[in-house]
């Protein structure tokens, strides 16, 4: 068994990927000969195959050890405990929370604009109705105004329908996303440099 940190294992995986790709490109797995002379003297199918097989086996061992460590090692990010594996997945999937937050923010802005627009039009119609009833001259008494305006507004005023308290949800998502993203890379980097894995030879 060979011991190394997750960080070193990740570096080795990148190197192995490069070496595997190169060996696949350059490997010679079959040849022919004319008479007793092999056409490509440098072609050694057994050596090419063994080299790639060994590289793949090494990659698999390191990858397996890292995955086990990721599944069993607990980290704390933004006050929340989770495995390294969960943290990596959350980092990938947080884009969905960002899309949710941005979508809610966009809808809130649009609906607020529409409510404002509808109420401006409603006020214009109310003013016109009051003018038709009481004329342009003088000030309308409060009780006369209320007698017309209250029922008119009850039937025509636009109001938000917001059972989830959308601004609170947007603020919560903002805080969660910012908190998680500000810590995740640093925490993973620290734990990867400290956590040892055992790789089979």
Tell me: the pLDDT tens digits for 151-165?
A: 999 999 999 999 999
- Considering the entire predicted model, what is its pTM? 0.77
Averaged pLDDT of the chain:
93
- The answer to whether the beta carbons of residues 101 and 173 sit under 8 Å apart is yes
| DSSP assigned state of 148 | H
Token pair in block for residue 15: 């190197």
Per-residue confidence band for 90, with pLDDT thresholds at 50, 70 and 90: very high
Give me the residue spans of the domains in the chain: 2-72, 88-189
pLDDT in tens, 118-161: 999 999 999 888 888 877 666 777 787 888 889 999 999 999 99
| pLDDT of 138 | 60
Q: What percent of the chain has pLDDT over 90?
A: 81
Q: Report, as an integer, the average pLDDT of 43-61.
A: 96
């Amino acid at each position: 068994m060979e011991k190394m940190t997750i960080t070193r294992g990740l570096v080795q995986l990148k190197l192995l990927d490069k070496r595997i790709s190169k060996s696949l490109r350059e490997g010679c797995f079959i040849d022919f000969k004319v008479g007793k002379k092999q056409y490509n003297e440098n072609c050694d199918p057994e050596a090419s195959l063994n080299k790639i097989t060994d590289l793949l086996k090494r990659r698999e061992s390191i990858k397996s050890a890292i995955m086990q460590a990721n599944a069993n090692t607990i980290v704390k990010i933004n006050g929340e405990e989770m495995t390294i594996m969960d943290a990596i997945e959350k980092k990938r999937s947080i884009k969905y929370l960002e899309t949710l937050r941005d979508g809610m923010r966009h809808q809130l802005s649009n609906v607020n604009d529409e409510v404002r627009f509808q109420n401006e039009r409603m006020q214009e119609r109310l003013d016109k109705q009051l003018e038709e009833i009481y004329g342009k001259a003088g000030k309308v008494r409060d009780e006369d105004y209320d007698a017309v305006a209250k029922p008119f507004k009850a039937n025509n005023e636009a109001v938000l329908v917001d059972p989830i308290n959308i601004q609170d949800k947007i603020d919560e998502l903002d805080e969660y996303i910012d908190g998680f993203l500000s810590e995740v890379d640093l925490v993973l980097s620290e734990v990867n440099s400290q956590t040892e894995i055992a790789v089979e030879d």
